[in-house]
A and B are shown apart, each in its own frame.
Chain A
Amino acid sequence: MAKREQICLEARGLTKVFGFGRNKTVAVDHVDLTLYEGEVVSIVGESGSGKTTLAKILLGLINETEGEVYFQGQKRDIRSYRQKQEYWKNIQAIFQDPFSSYNIFNKIDSVLLDCIHMRGGRRLPYEKKVELMAEACRFVNLKFEELTNKYPFELSGGQMQRLMIARIFLLKPRILVADEPTSMIDACSRATILDMLMQLRNEIGMTVIFITHDIGLAYYVSDTVYIMERGRFVESGSADKVILTPSHPYTKRLISDVPKIYEEWDLSTV
């Protein structure tokens, strides 16, 4: 699926250190990462391996201690907040916990309206905005008429995560960082949400960084897999290569921790 033509995002020697002295923790340790346009990349590791920190650095939500990030061939410069706002037009995220991702004081309409405004649709007539929002909701199997004037916490976890995908549908970013988007969702909704995500990717051709602890899931969705242990990438390569012929013991352990991998996902279809 990967075209392997144009590099979309590149990280060189990315390091993040929390604290100092005795309490020093190296969350991300000299990580190199290359993302090609339109590719789906999985970063797999157990909790505490630094996946989320890496995702937040790539998103520009926290600053790296060392290293550089190149976005579409140019060195990323997001020191000022205005530059960050510009950068965030290209990169978006879906967070792990849908229940804490929304501001509980804002209604659902305002979440979606923000996206339209960010895409430069501030001056559109209201009917047009409603049309756009309804279209986005339809894409994720939600009914916009039922969501207006509701608060996010009135929805179920799966609905909230689908609303998150509707956001991405409206924003159409170049890169999407999906930080364990299905880990808080029950198993039935999980496949639906993943399918929606993949369908959306095919439609708008964005690059996806998929962060998960579930190596089976990573195999299901991704072209390239990076295995992360204690802040470092221990193994990387195409999904087939890494998962079917793992070389690093940590990868082997991760795979053996998911015994149902061959039952749950039919490999022949991927």
Chain B
Amino acid sequence: MKHTLRQVFRSGKFLFGFSIFVSLVLIVLIYPLLVPDDPLRILGQGTFFPPGIYVNTYDSINTSTKYTLNLPNADVRRLESKLSQEDRLAMREWLIAAGIAESEIDIENTSSLLALWNSNYDPKKSIPGMTNARRNYFIRLNNSLKGLTMAGDLVVASKNAESGGLEDLGVVKDTDYVNISEVANVRLLLLGTDNFGRDMLTELVTATRVSLQIGFVAGLIATLIGLTLGLLAGYVGGIVDDIIMFFTNLFTVIPSFVLLILISYSLGQEQRGAFTVATVIGFTSWVWTTRAVRAQVVSLRNRDHVNLSKLSGHSIAHIIIHDILPYIASYVVMALILQISSGILAEAGLSILGLGPKTTEVPTLGLIMRWAMIYQAHIQGNWWAYLPVLVTIALITFSMNLMNTGLDQVFNPALRD
């Protein structure tokens, strides 16, 4: 036993898969201790805030100690961040229509573009073929550019309750800086927010935990059913074997995913908790374990050590538990690992179809993908809403399959390379 374990942990593939899996599990366990937020709490008003550090504007203006830094190119950067690529393209379009040579316009160079625009733009100039709406758009663009280039300080003022006039509270210069650690409210959203404005990372970690739980429950149920039926069919044989194999073949022919969809649909949205879904997945995926275990048991049944155990007066139950089970244990563990990873995938598949666990209790990897898909994150380019989930699912199944391959090589020396 100890020897086998040592051999297993010497297998490179198993070790690699195992370390990925263990680090995923550790993240899932440790992260909630560091960030004890409710994963379904809605933080943001709006959909799909991109990843980044969110600094409270109100707090940063009110931060008492202001630092003055004279950084080179600060003005240029400021301009560049405010002038979007779309605006630049529109400016070029107008300039070309107004008769400026295309070679003269460099939309990447902000200052020369602005200079060209300011010297040429005339709102009264009529360009043939331009709609009124388009013309108004250029007028708006020009006005916003004026604000952009306006030099001077910002005045922060508040309304006086008695007189109704404005009172200066402070002046924000363009060289004022705050230290981010002195701002009261800063939130790091490493993966941004989802369509409901929830913190994507917290949600993802919780979803990984729930999906792993679903996978484990589904895998355990499937393996237990498969093991019991396989042992019975294989060892007892005869009519018991025939009956069990009849149903097993029946379920082999019916695609289990279709069965899963039908059962999930008939349960209804309200009845589907995460563990109900896991149970349903478990009860529809035992078929292959049964067949595999039965095949193994049939070949073990007539071995000499089983005969010796019979001759030593052991009961059938004792023989199954002591003389058959240990010999197929490694095989069953491998089947369990595969069942867990396929359980996670089945849950994701169901959830994408809208037949997964109900959406109000816990997030799962499949549910996050479903929300991202419904709110068209993939079309809008909001990669943080679906890519991390995909990577997580891929990592889980990859690590489990790798562990399985590693185990396979340890227990079937013929497969070693």
Contact = CB atoms under 8 A, between A and B. Distances in A.
Interface of A: 56, 59, 61-62, 81, 84-85, 88-89, 92-93, 95-97, 100-106, 111, 114-115, 117-118, 167
Contacts of B302: 62
B105 to A, nearest CB: 81
Query: 4 closest pairs, A vs B, by CB?
Result: A118-B313, A114-B312, A105-B326, A101-B304
A56 B306 CA distance: 13
Given A105-B322, A105-B326, A106-B322, A95 B310 contact: no
B5 to A, nearest CB: 14
A117 B313 contact: yes
A88 B308 CA distance: 10
A103 B313 contact: no
Interface of B: 302-305, 307-316, 322-323, 326
A90 to B, nearest CB: 11
A100 B305 contact: yes
B314 A114 contact: yes
B307 A103 contact: no
B323 A89 contact: no
A84 B313 CA distance: 9
B416 to A, nearest CB: 21
A105 B326 CA distance: 7
A101 B312 CA distance: 12
B310 A88 contact: yes
Contacts of A56: 307
Contacts of B310: 61, 84, 88
B308 A95 contact: yes
Contact of B307 (A93, A104, A117, A167): A93
Given A59-B307, A81-B315, A115-B312, 20 more contacts: A56-B307, A59-B311, A61-B310, A62-B302, A84-B310, A89-B313, A92-B311, A93-B311, A95-B304, A96-B304, A100-B303, A100-B305, A101-B305, A103-B309, A103-B326, A105-B322, A114-B313, A118-B312, A118-B313, A167-B312
Nearest to B324: A103
A117 B313 CA distance: 9
Contacts of B304: 95-97, 100-101
Contacts of A114: 312-314
Nearest to B329: A105
Nearest to B306: A103
Contacts of A96: 304
A160 B355 CA distance: 59
B188 to A, nearest CB: 53
B165 to A, nearest CB: 91
